């Protein structure tokens, strides 16, 4: 890919042509290329790399690194869409087409990990936007991040839809000799036509299953995130059985599963897609999600009741999605008690730190 000469014309003062990005800290340049038609990459120098997860979060980790913000995978259900609002960009097309690239993230991370205060806690990648989205093939940020974490003695967790993970498997094998390395692949849709419609920028399901197999053959105990399970689209017993059979065949050992949840930003974008592509389901989705971010409790319980025997049949270790309202209430309560002060329950999206 030839990116030189693809820089977008800047204003005389050096600012971006997109007014919404005038306040983007550390902007170096904005780049387009024919290979990513319609996508603009805004290269920035970041001041920090490690993000502290809020104490009230239900997530099983306290630190993340996000080398990119926005994602060309363009998944219509992506929970991270709301994070683009903090850049004064919209949560629909801008999230898919205006991608922030932290070009110095590995160097900044290495400096942060070298501080005496760093306790070598687990660092999770892929929790907001995918570190192996297609642009990683050009920017190659992950090798530097992996080396920095491994050399500092920091455990690593990676969740991705990207088959570019295979490029770094030899490096991850070496790092896994020093620190724990957890690899997870997100595979939500096992129907090719639906997958292309709902996740238009992602690798195919077959390619992701092949990446699971490659990671398993390299000695990793791979987890597959069967998420989101979408009501009336991917949740029939036959669909779940087929999905889990293919996951087991690919060599995964664990499955995290959960029903679709739609927070503000993602909700509007997804419900527009449902109305356009599956109008016969619009009433049902409005009933489930019109006034809520999560599927009804009864639906989620029934889904778990149906999925768990299938997981047992295929020898897969089960784990339910931890980002559920019940778990978030517990986490918020624990955080409030730790602070020794009353705290209001807040189930709104947590901002991704930049």
pLDDT of 227 strictly over 80: yes
Question: Which comes out higher in pLDDT, residue 242 or 33?
Answer: 242
* pLDDT per position as a tens digit, 262-271: 988 889 999 9
Question: Which comes out higher in pLDDT, residue 180 or 85?
Answer: 180
The average confidence (pLDDT) of the chain is 86
Q: What is the pLDDT of residue 133?
A: 96
The pTM for the full model equals 0.85
CA-based nearest residue to 146, from 114, 170, 130:
170
Query: What residues contact 184, with CB distance under 8 A and at least 6 apart?
Result: 126, 157, 158, 159, 160, 222, 223, 224, 225, 256
Q: Residue 223 forms beta bridges with which residues?
A: 184, 254
Q: What is the pLDDT of residue 340?
A: 56
Q: What is the pLDDT of residue 323?
A: 73
Query: What residues contact 123, with CB distance under 8 A and at least 6 apart?
Result: 50, 61, 63, 64, 65, 149, 154, 155, 156, 157
Cβ pair 77, 198 in contact under 8 A: yes
Please report which helix (H) or strand (E) contains residue 108, including its range.
helix 105-113
Q: What is the DSSP letter of 268?
A: H
Average pLDDT of the segment spanning 304-313: 97
How large a percentage of the chain has pLDDT more than 90? 70
Report the phi/psi class of residue 70: left, alpha or beta, with left for phi > 0 and alpha for psi in -120 to 50.
left
CA distance to 62, 117, 348, per residue, from 65 (Å): 11, 17, 21
Q: What is the pLDDT of residue 153?
A: 98
Q: Is 1 strand, coil or helix?
A: coil
C-alpha 171: how far from its chain's center? 22
- What is the Cα Rg of the chain in Å? 20
Cβ pair 352, 69 in contact under 8 A: yes
How large a percentage of the chain has pLDDT more than 70? 82
* pLDDT per position as a tens digit, 335-348: 455 555 444 443 43
Query: What residues contact 225, with CB distance under 8 A and at least 6 apart?
Result: 159, 184, 185, 186, 187, 188, 255, 256, 257
Average pLDDT of the segment spanning 16-39: 76
Cβ pair 259, 303 in contact under 8 A: yes
Average the pLDDT over each of 36-40, 141-145, 245-249 and give the range with the smallest value. 36-40
């Amino acid at each position: 890919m030839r990116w030189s000469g693809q820089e977008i014309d800047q204003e005389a003062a050096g600012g971006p042509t997109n007014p919404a990005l005038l306040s983007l800290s550390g902007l170096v340049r904005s780049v387009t290329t024919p290979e990513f038609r319609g996508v603009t990459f805004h290269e920035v120098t970041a001041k920090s790399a490690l993000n502290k997860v809020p104490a009230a979060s239900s997530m099983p980790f306290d630190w993340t690194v996000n080398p990119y913000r926005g994602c060309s995978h363009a998944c219509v259900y992506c929970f991270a869409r709301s994070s683009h609002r903090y850049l004064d960009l919209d949560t629909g097309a801008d999230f898919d087409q205006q991608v922030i690239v932290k070009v110095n993230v590995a160097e900044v991370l290495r400096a942060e990990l070298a501080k005496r205060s760093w306790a070598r806690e687990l660092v999770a990648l892929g929790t907001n936007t995918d570190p192996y989205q297609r642009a990683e093939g050009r920017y190659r940020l992950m090798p530097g991040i992996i080396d920095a974490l491994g050399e500092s003695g920091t455990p690593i967790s990676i969740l991705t839809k990207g088959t570019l993970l295979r490029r770094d498997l030899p490096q991850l094998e070496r790092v896994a000799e020093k620190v724990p390395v957890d690899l997870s692949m997100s595979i939500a849709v096992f129907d090719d036509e639906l997958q292309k419609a709902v996740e238009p920028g992602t690798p195919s399901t077959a390619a992701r299953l092949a990446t699971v197999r490659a990671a398993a053959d390299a000695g990793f105990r791979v987890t597959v995130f069967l998420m989101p399970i979408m009501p009336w689209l991917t949740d029939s017993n036959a669909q779940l059985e087929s999905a889990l059979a293919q996951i087991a065949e690919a060599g995964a050992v664990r499955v995290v599963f959960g029903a679709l949840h739609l927070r503000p930003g993602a909700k509007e974008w997804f419900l527009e897609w449902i109305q356009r592509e599956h109008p016969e389901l619009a009433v049902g989705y409005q009933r489930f999600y019109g006034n809520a971010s999560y599927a009804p409790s009864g639906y989620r319980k029934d889904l778990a009741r149906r999925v768990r025997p299938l997981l047992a049949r295929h020898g897969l270790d089960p784990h339910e999605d931890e980002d559920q309202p019940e778990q978030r209430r517990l986490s918020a309560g624990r955080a409030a008690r730790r602070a020794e002060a009353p705290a209001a329950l807040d189930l709104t999206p947590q901002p991704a730190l930049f």
